[in-house]
């Protein structure tokens, strides 16, 4: 999972401006944004945003769920297709509404403030869960270098969140440098893994050789459950489309860049998983919490483990920094719109950052680090957030009917099949999660439903709501 910091309202509004002024400035017409991104830069952005911590962590769980090499390949290919349909769909909305807040803005414009509030309410808990999940991956790989105990891993994850929170509290530019370093780290780790595995690994002992499972072990239901984990690795599509309003010639460049970017991501994920399967027997892979470290250990030895672990740590720490930077902007935009608690829209008078929102996200993330495992956090995030992404994609159809006059610099190809495929794919994943882990799925649904009375209490208390003419 990776995030790219969205264009912040703080970049265009003076530190002393009110939150309402910030939102007004940030909802400028589409053509107010300079279109500077061409094909290559947009393609690189698509791939860079999506490739994050998941590929270093979830492959063992995918193998365990899918049951066979063919099942593993099916999970990553199907996950890529679902992701592609989602990216193409959200790009139309992003080009039409290039505003901070991401999904919140799309949901508000398509369905009104109630659905938008439910997304924000759910995000208050699930975005910190995603942040905590990535922080745990960072700490687990740090643990391979320092031999940390389980509690030491959690302390390290908490430390990463605190450090990233301090940087995001005090600076708008600081997280950008960390994210840039993370890009170098993750690409270095992936190249090292793939080259070393296929040049130094013993194919005869891996999952393609004597360690291969029987094809009959493939589980159809397991492929659906494996998609929950794989979508964690593909996550980030809701963040990269925030730059769609800044792409040159979007009708031509966007679909080409999105197709090329997702093709790169799918190819990278298949190559990396191929490296895992080439080196590790299937029974070892399906039980491996850190498959990248296990693969490096077999082909390079302790030095390889340290190199890969260091690269993954840079990558995941940069992702934590991006999440702690980007996610509070969603809360900020919603609070400025009257849909969340007003203090979340406060801007620090000196640092020009949404400091209350940053602190809130960091605190809830710390609670998640100490209360849940990585698997629980990743599953809760995907099953809680992706249904809202699907709702946003469905909003393409809604807005085509209700706002036919809306300026659309980019239109999703294959309409309406592409958005509907993404919606159906997401529904299938949620159903698979419900069947396999009903507790987690129902808990996420319950959390969302609790937001309904909270919203109406907000309405009755006189809160301001923008987006569809309502006032609360």
Q: What is the C-alpha separation between 41 and 8, in angstroms, rounded?
A: 20
Structural domain containing residue 415? 9-460
Q: Bigger pLDDT: 360 or 192? A: 360
With tokens 């960072």, the residue in question is: 138
**In 3D, which of 99, 127, 91 has the Cα closest to residue 466?**
99
Query: What does the pLDDT read at residue 176?
Result: 57
**Does residue 1 sit within a domain?**
no
For the record, the structure tokens of 308 come out as 């890969």
CB 312 within 8 A of CB 186: yes
**Does residue 2 sit within a domain?**
no
| Residue 275 clears pLDDT 90, i.e. is over it | yes
Query: What does the pLDDT read at residue 471?
Result: 35
**Overall average pLDDT of the 188-197 stretch:** 86
pLDDT category of residue 11 using cuts at 50, 70 and 90: very low
| Residue 80 clears pLDDT 70, i.e. is over it | yes
320-375 pLDDT, tens digit per residue, is 887 887 778 778 877 877 777 788 888 888 887 888 999 999 999 999 999 999 88
For the record, the structure tokens of 10 come out as 């703080």
Query: What does the pLDDT read at residue 172?
Result: 61
The answer to which of 1-10, 318-327, 376-385 has the lowest mean pLDDT is 1-10
Helix ranges (DSSP H) in 31-112: 39-50, 59-66, 69-96, 103-111
CB 280 within 8 A of CB 288: yes
pLDDT category of residue 415 using cuts at 50, 70 and 90: very high
**Does residue 232 sit within a domain?**
yes
**Does residue 20 sit within a domain?**
yes
**Does residue 293 sit within a domain?**
yes
For the record, the structure tokens of 43 come out as 């393609």
With tokens 């999660």, the residue in question is: 433
For the record, the structure tokens of 81 come out as 């297709």
Neighbours of 37 (CB within 10 A): 21
CATH of the domain at 31: 1.20.1740.10
Q: Bigger pLDDT: 219 or 7? A: 219
Q: What is the C-alpha separation between 164 and 166, in angstroms, rounded?
A: 5
Query: What does the pLDDT read at residue 53?
Result: 78
Query: What does the pLDDT read at residue 276?
Result: 95
Query: Domain total for the chain?
Result: 1
CB 422 within 8 A of CB 85: yes
Q: What is the C-alpha separation between 220 and 74, in angstroms, rounded?
A: 10
| Residue 77 clears pLDDT 70, i.e. is over it | yes
**Does residue 4 sit within a domain?**
no
166-187 pLDDT, tens digit per residue, is 988 886 655 556 666 666 767 7
CB 39 within 8 A of CB 256: yes
**Does residue 124 sit within a domain?**
yes
Query: What does the pLDDT read at residue 257?
Result: 83
Query: What does the pLDDT read at residue 362?
Result: 94
For the record, the structure tokens of 322 come out as 């991006």
119-168 pLDDT, tens digit per residue, is 888 888 888 999 999 999 999 999 988 989 999 999 999 999 999 899 88
Top-ranked range on mean pLDDT: pick from 191-205, 273-287, 448-462: 273-287
pLDDT category of residue 274 using cuts at 50, 70 and 90: very high
Query: What does the pLDDT read at residue 42?
Result: 78
**Does residue 469 sit within a domain?**
no
Query: What does the pLDDT read at residue 39?
Result: 85
pLDDT category of residue 309 using cuts at 50, 70 and 90: confident
37 phi and psi angles, rounded to 5 deg:
-90, 125
The answer to which of 101-110, 187-196, 233-242, 398-407 has the lowest mean pLDDT is 233-242
- pTM as predicted: 0.78
| Residue 419 clears pLDDT 90, i.e. is over it | yes
């Amino acid at each position: 999972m990776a995030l790219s910091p969205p264009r912040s309202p703080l970049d265009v509004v003076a530190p002393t401006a009110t939150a309402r002024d910030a939102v007004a400035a940030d909802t400028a017409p589409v053509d107010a944004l300079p279109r500077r991104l061409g094909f290559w830069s947009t393609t690189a952005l698509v791939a860079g945003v999506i490739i994050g911590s998941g590929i270093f962590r979830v492959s063992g769980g995918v193998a365990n769920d899918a049951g066979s090499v063919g099942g593993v390949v099916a999970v990553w290919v199907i996950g890529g297709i679902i992701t592609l349909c989602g990216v193409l769909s959200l790009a139309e909305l992003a080009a039409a509404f290039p505003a901070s807040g991401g999904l919140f803005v799309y949901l508000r414009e398509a369905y009104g403030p109630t659905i938008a509030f439910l997304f924000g309410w759910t995000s208050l808990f699930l975005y910190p869960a995603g942040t905590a999940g990535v922080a745990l991956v960072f700490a687990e790989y740090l643990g391979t270098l320092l031999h940390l105990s389980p509690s030491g891993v959690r302390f390290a994850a908490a430390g990463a969140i605190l450090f990233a929170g301090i940087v995001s509290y005090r600076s708008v530019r600081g997280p950008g440098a960390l994210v840039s370093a993370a890009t170098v780290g993750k690409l270095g780790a992936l190249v090292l893994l793939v080259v070393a595995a296929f040049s130094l690994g013993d194919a005869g002992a891996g999952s393609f050789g004597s360690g291969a499972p029987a094809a009959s072990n493939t589980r159809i239901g397991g492929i659906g459950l494996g998609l929950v984990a794989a979508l964690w690795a593909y996550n980030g599509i809701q963040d990269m489309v925030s730059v769609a309003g800044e792409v040159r010639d979007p009708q031509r460049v966007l679909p080409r860049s999105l197709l090329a970017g997702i093709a790169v991501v799918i190819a990278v994920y298949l190559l990396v998983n191929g490296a895992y399967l080439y080196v590790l027997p299937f029974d070892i892979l399906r039980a491996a919490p850190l498959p990248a470290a296990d693969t490096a250990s077999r082909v390079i030895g302790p030095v390889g483990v340290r190199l890969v672990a260091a690269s993954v740590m840079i990558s995941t720490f940069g992702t934590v920094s991006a999440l702690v930077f980007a996610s509070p902007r969603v809360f900020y935009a919603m609070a400025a719109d009257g849909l969340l608690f007003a203090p979340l829209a406060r801007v620090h008078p000196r640092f020009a950052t949404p400091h209350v929102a940053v602190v809130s996200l960091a605190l809830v993330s710390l609670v998640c680090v100490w209360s849940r495992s990585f698997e629980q956090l990743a599953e809760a995030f995907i099953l809680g957030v992706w249904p809202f992404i699907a709702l946003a994609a469905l909003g393409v159809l809604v807005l085509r009917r209700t706002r036919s006059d809306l300026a659309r610099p980019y239109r999703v190809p294959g309409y309406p099949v592409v958005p509907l495929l993404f919606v159906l794919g997401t529904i299938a994943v949620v159903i698979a999660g419900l069947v396999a882990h009903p507790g987690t799925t129902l808990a996420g649904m319950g959390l969302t439903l609790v937001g309904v009375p909270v919203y109406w209490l907000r309405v009755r208390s006189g809160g301001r709501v923008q987006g569809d003419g309502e006032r609360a």
